Amino acid sequence: DSGVTQTPKHLITATGQRVTLRCSPRSGDLSVYWYQQSLDQGLQFLIQYYNGEERAKGNILERFSAQQFPDLHSELNLSSLELGDSALYFCASSVGYRGGTTEAFFGQGTRLTVV
């Protein structure tokens, strides 16, 4: 168990809908990362938050947004869903952004299926 919790584990929804994926980082970790993993694109970095603030953006679509709350949990919102958004979405956390780094710990992922 990595200590990173993601909910839900599985999600099936229709095209055009909106979903919210949730991530609780390891206790004490301030940085949260979101990744999308699909068969054809591999592991794609979406966005990083540190202590509530956005720190880095990767290949995140405008239809997607995220935030990190004061209690450090994070949510990834996916809207106007398309078939191509079907993927495994991972959240990872690490200790921090400044002053050094440690490894990132990954959650079990949310498997999103858009039908």
Partner 1 sequence: AQSVSQHNHHVILSEAASLELGCNYSYGGTVNLFWYVQYPGQHLQLLLKYFSGDPLVKGIKGFEAEFIKSKFSFNLRKPSVQWSDTAEYFCAVTSRNTGNQFYFGTGTSLTVIP
Residue 42 is a binding residue for partner 1 (CB under 8 A) = yes
Nearer to partner 1, 79 or 96 (CB): 96
**Cβ of residue 95: shortest distance to partner 1, in angstroms?**
9
| HEC-encoded secondary structure of 31-89 | EEEEEEEECCCEEEEEEEEECCEEEEECCCCCCEEEEECCCCCEEEEECCCCHHHCEEE
Q: Which of 19, 21, 104, 114 binds partner 1 (CB under 8 A)?
A: 104
Query: Position 105: which residue type?
Result: F
Q: Select the span of 22-30, 59-67, 79-87, 92-100 touching partner 1 (CB under 8 A).
A: 92-100
**Cβ of residue 57: shortest distance to partner 1, in angstroms?**
10
| Interacting residues of 65 by C-beta distance below 8 A, sequence separation 6+ | 76, 77, 79
Pair 6, 23: CB distance under 8 Å? yes
Residue 22 is a binding residue for partner 1 (CB under 8 A) = no
Q: How many residues bind partner 1 (CB under 8 A)?
A: 25
Cα dihedral across residues 60, 47, 44, 16: positive or negative? negative
Positions touching partner 1 (CB under 8 A) are 2, 31, 33, 35, 42-43, 45, 48, 55-56, 90, 92, 94, 96-98, 100-101, 103-109
